[in-house]
Every structure is written in C-alpha cells, then in structure tokens.
Amino acid sequence: PDDEGAGQPDAPAPSLHEQRLAAVTAALKEAGAARVLDLGCGEGRLIRRLLAERQFTEILGMDVSSRALALAQERLGRLPPPQRRRVRLIQGSLTYRDERLRGYDAAAVVEVIEHLDPARLAAFERVLFEAARPATVALTTPNAEYNVRYPALAAGGRRHADHRFEWTRAELRAWAEGVAARHGYGVALAPVGPEDPEVGAPSQLAVFRLGA
Ligand code: SAH
C-alpha cells in the first residue's frame, strides 16, 4: 500500500499492491487452506479478495490499529451477508502471544513486518511460528534494493515514513531461512512485481510450509 506513492516509474494495472494480494491469495489457495488469518489486515483489502474464493471458509483479520479496523469493518459491512459471515475482525498486536490465533491453516502477513521495531521481530517470530503455528505463512515485504528505481527514493530513504526497516533480498532470505530452521518450516522466496535484472522486483514474497 505504501509504495504506490513512492514515484513508481510506470503505473500499470494491476498495481503493485494488487500483484502482492494476488500472489498471496494464490499461495494460500495452493496450500489448500480453508481457515486463514490476515495479520495486520489494515482496511481489509486482502480479506475482500479472499472472500471471493469459496475455498476460504473462515477468515480472521487482526490489526493493532482501531482506525484501520473501523475502515475494514465499514467496507466489509457492505458485502452480502453470506460473505460477511465468513469474516471476523479482532484488535491485537503481533508481538504478543495470542490464543485467538491458534488452529488456523494459514496466515497472510502482507507488508507488515517492516512496520515492526526490529527489536520486536523475535517476539513476532515466536507469536506466529511457535504459538499460532499455521501450516502455511505467506509474507510480503518491500525489496530495498529496488528503491533506487523510484525517482523519489533514488537518493536513499524508505518507501513510507512508518517503515522501521526495508530488507534486501539477501536480508529477507537470511531472516526467513533462520525462522524456518528454528521452527520446523521450509521456505520459498519469490519476487513480486516487474523484475529488474540488477535490483530484482519491488516486492518479495516468502511462503513458509510447516514440515516442508
Ligand atoms: N496488510 C494490509 C496493511 C499493510 S499496512 C495491506 O496489505 O493492505 C501495515 C499494517 O500493519 C497496518 O494496518 C498496521 O496497523 C499494522 N500493524 C503494525 N504493527 C502491528 C502489530 N504490532 N500488530 C498488528 N498489526 C500491526
């Protein structure tokens, strides 16, 4: 959501965020998930996309921001009741262990980790991969290497003032492989958005599979 305004060189349809949501939806579908978490759901754009797929029978959206949740609630409220009934929204923080997150098949974490204080990443890791422990986790974050392709960021800086960090492809890989090894998951990484031969794609997807 954040890098849409960062001076994207070409603004083709679908937008980068649409491509992220499509990639995450495809990963969750392929995993055969039915009950899914959307962690850091924001205003609920992924949730609306997931609701279009009958495979996803139950969706729990969580966000720390009551403002984001109110927006999500309002938008989801306009959907037909059979869709609306498949969703529940809760307020909570991904850095605190939460029993409500247990028992789901999969979790989406789209453009959220870069909003966490790096010192809280270890807590996030335990909350998701040790306590909630869904079989599949699909997580996206910006690829910092691509920032040089945004005119507004060519001189340095992050895509959004609220980002605490942005990782290169090697940094995401190192973190993701560490998480996977510590908690018994396998992980596969993939680019999201148009790939540049030197700096890669603007966004990156990590898909974790328990026991893979
Ligand atoms: N996933 C959404 C929103 C991404 S913006 C989308 O792709 O459109 C990042 C979101 O993470 C914001 O809604 C913010 O409130 C939420 N967030 C930040 N820190 C969080 C935390 N500790 N726990 C839960 N959500 C958090």
* Average of per-residue pLDDT across 124-143: 98
pLDDT of 106 reads 98
pLDDT of residue 57 exceeding 60: yes
Structural contact between residues 151 and 9, judged by C-beta atoms closer than 8 angstroms: yes
The dihedral formed by the CA atoms of 196, 27, 36 and 71, expressed in degrees to the nearest 10 = 30
The pTM of the whole model exceeds 0.75: yes
- The pLDDT assigned to 1 comes to 54
Query: CA 15 → CA 63, 199, 202, distances in Å?
Result: 23, 19, 11
Q: From the CA of 65, how far away is ligand 1's center (Å)?
A: 8
Say if residues 34 and 105 touch (Cβ distance below 8 Å): yes
Q: What is the DSSP letter of 70?
A: H
- The preferred substitution site among 28, 48, 64 for testing ligand 1, maximizing ligand atoms within 8 Å of CB, is 64
Q: pLDDT value at position 104?
A: 98
Model pLDDT for residues 14-27, shown as the tens digit of each residue: 899 999 999 999 99
Rounded to the nearest angstrom, the distance between the alpha carbon of 45 and the centre of ligand 1 is 12
Q: How far is the CA of 62 from the centre of ligand 1 (A)?
A: 8
Mean pLDDT of 149-160: 86
Burial class (CB in 10 A: 0-12, 13-18, 19+), 117: exposed
